[in-house]
Each structure stands twice: as C-alpha cells, then as structure tokens.
C-alpha cells in the first residue's frame, strides 16, 4: 500500500499558504500519500514557502510552484530548490526553460493545438485546465489525438464526487486545489480532505 501511495498521480495545490504554515500543511498532505506539492506564485511569499518545503521534504516529495508564467519565474523556483513547474497556460518558452533546468513541466492546455505545442516544447505532462470547462466529452476528444503515453491531469473540477468518471474517461491524474486546501484551514482539516481525495482516487481504480 505504501508503494502505491508514493506513486499517486496527484498534485496538491496549496494556493494562499504562508511560509509559517506551509510545512505543517504539507506534512498532512504527504501523510495521505500525495507526494507532489505546488505553491502557486500568487501565494504570500511563495519562494520562501518552497524553500522551507524543500528543506523539510525534499527527499520525500516533489516540491515546486504553480501559476508560473515566465522563464524568469522558472529560474527563481529552481533557485529556491523547486523541481516542479505548473502553469495555467501553455507558453513554450516557460516549458523549454523548465525542461532545460531538469524540472517537471506541467503546462495548462485546453485545445489540441496547445497540447502539441506543449509536448513539442518538452512538457512532462499536460494539465487540462479548467477541466470543468472542457468536460468529460471534450477531454476524451483531446485525449484521442494525443500521442500514446502522454500524461493528462485534470485540474479544476475533478474531485471526490467525480474521480471515477474522469478516470474511466481517460485522465491519468489530477491537480487538487480548493478541495484540498483553502487559506485559513488547519493542518488537521487539510489532512482529512487529502485522505478523502486519495481514497476517492483509489476507489476509481475498481
């Protein structure tokens, strides 16, 4: 079970987390088996949060940033120790910089054009965002034209109530935002939410 948990295709999104609470919140997320964590750059002092998370969990988790919009931001995250870059959009220059620095790149895409631009630039995988806008049928249409083996994560609309449907339709993983963490929530509350999300994701395998 532990090995399974360590390889869950889920990214925890801690939007709005502060440096002083980041380690406790991330500890609760990791305890549930979510080992990829991003701190969006529109959070308070995000690079400091990333530094603290890397110091605390760098051997146990892949830590990085979300809402990364420029190559300069990629370099700042890399300097802070981050190894994961997640974006809401598809910017080949951002993907190329991420790839060059040996970091995981997850750009946001909606259309096949964006998907192929992202893959051509060296993306690790694709973040379907917002998934709720594209919907299951739209996702299946995009998935049908992607190269075999392309990783596609649903972000924005995939959660406890519909993981099974998204998995059956063909997504490989998911990014977990407000369903996992909202500013002001305690580590205990986040841990409960993380466990519920992990349990729902695993239930979708059956």
Q: For residue 48, indicate whether it is catalytic.
A: no
Catalytic residue among 2, 21, 27, 38: 38
Q: What is the Cα–Cα distance from 15 to 107, expressed in whole angstroms? A: 17
Catalytic residue among 59, 127, 182, 205: 127
DSSP state of 67: S
Q: What is the Cα–Cα distance from 54 to 64, expressed in whole angstroms? A: 8
Q: What H or E segment, with its residue span, contains residue 139? A: helix 131-145
Q: Under a CB-based contact definition with an 8 Å cutoff, are residues 60 and 33 in contact?
A: no
Q: For residue 127, indicate whether it is catalytic.
A: yes
Q: Under a CB-based contact definition with an 8 Å cutoff, are residues 2 and 28 in contact?
A: no
Query: From the CA atom positions of the chain, what is the Rg in Å?
Result: 16
Q: Under a CB-based contact definition with an 8 Å cutoff, are residues 159 and 197 in contact?
A: yes
Q: What is the Cα–Cα distance from 35 to 11, expressed in whole angstroms? A: 7
Look-up: residue for tokens 């002092």? 45
Q: What share of the chain is helix, strand, coil (3-state, %, to 5)?
A: 45, 15, 35
The residues annotated as belonging to the active site are 38, 127
């Amino acid at each position: 079970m532990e090995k399974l948990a360590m390889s869950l295709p889920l990214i925890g999104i801690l939007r709005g987390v502060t440096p002083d609470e980041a380690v406790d919140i991330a500890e609760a997320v990791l305890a549930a088996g979510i080992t990829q964590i991003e701190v969006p750059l529109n959070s308070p002092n995000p690079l400091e949060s990333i530094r603290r998370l890397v110091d605390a969990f760098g051997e146990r988790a892949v830590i990085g940033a979300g809402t990364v919009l420029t190559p300069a931001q990629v370099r700042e995250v890399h300097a802070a120790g981050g190894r994961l870059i997640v974006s809401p959009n598809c910017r080949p220059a951002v993907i190329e910089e991420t790839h060059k620095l040996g970091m995981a790149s997850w750009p946001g895409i909606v259309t096949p054009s964006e998907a192929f631009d992202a893959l051509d630039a060296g993306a690790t995988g694709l973040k379907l965002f917002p998934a709720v806008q594209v919907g299951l049928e739209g996702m299946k249409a995009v998935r049908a034209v992607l190269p075999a083996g392309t990783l596609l994560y649903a972000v924005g609309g995939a959660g406890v109530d519909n993981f099974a449907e998204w998995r059956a339709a063909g997504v490989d993983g998911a990014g977990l935002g407000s369903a996992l963490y909202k500013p002001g929530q305690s580590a205990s509350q986040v841990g409960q939410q993380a466990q519920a999300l992990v349990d729902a994701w695993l239930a979708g395998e059956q």
